[in-house]
Structure 1
């Protein structure tokens, strides 16, 4: 099993430049590292039985790496990373739209994977894969443009320049804003993870639907302030850096809450 993962990881690093990854390598690892720091003792022990000695951050990007697999074995998982929803006026409208979505998506699969992990009939292999996907997809949930709009593929069709380089809005939020801070993922996780216990509990409060709506509202703000052909540089970093860091922290804390509840 591990040899298969290793081969896919090698292939992924060779071809990773062709993909637009949610949060990029650093972002997903930051979220996983923050989550690791907030696991309960029981959750930590149970996860170790499933995952082995590697930390959550080790596996955080695997569901993106397997996009490099040319066998088609993971083709169905592509739609699991996002849920497209037109702008909604309030939570009730959002929730109705969310639950009416057809097919597998970020929302449905987080629930499916959670159920698979809890089901004692799930094989050891499938439980590990489900947990790896769950770690990653809870990170996707906190990237606002993964709760974006179908018409532009979550910002992928919105062309912008970032410090003079041609790119798209989704890519800016996937990695460029995070990477511009020049921290390692462990440094960034440590710098962000400074909330009090009461603040952590407040951030972790709510349902999966609440958390998705939280990202959806931020996505609407991003769309409103980043029209097509925008020229982005230091002013954009200044405007949205705090939001980006909030989402990394919230993603990690909410992932921890979900894992603690599962185990």
Structure 2
């Protein structure tokens, strides 16, 4: 599916090559039969508007959206396993799938990086690729909802992936469940994470005070994003409580 390659490129970190080859991307969008005309037009307009800005501005926007906090991370397993041990095994299993498909990865990205996963799906048959999108549809809906809350045009790309998957899950199905979720990309939230990590380190050294313990408890879980249950057969995405 060529459209998966296009969206993978747009979800990756913006660089000079994207600006240089934007006309080629637009030509591929015009040729695709994988999207209906309305969706294809929206994707083409995204490319035009995105590449109309200065590259440095788009790079800063990208980092602010995807690299600050965990809630909008493009690492798929972050939204399912967090830092649990299950994440490691899931990584190994996904790497096995890549190797079986003949893909050899360098050390630049983790295997659950969404653009990389989309590149993998693009090498499969259309039926297999859609099944792969169905597997991550709840994550896509969660990301789309959070990105919409941040008023970013990147939400369109996640919504188009949901369209390609053929599932009925939408960002709107998740939005209400996230109503009370605190954003983890604010300066206060990022400071809280840094301070808590410092306290954990001191605790490991055996020199944490009662005041520091109280501070740690006050911030514990304050910026942890909600996690989800990958059950696409349910009526809506199952968004669970924040993990400690």
TM-score normalised by structure 1 residue count = 0.27
Structure whose CA Rg is larger: 2
TM-score normalised by structure 2 residue count = 0.29
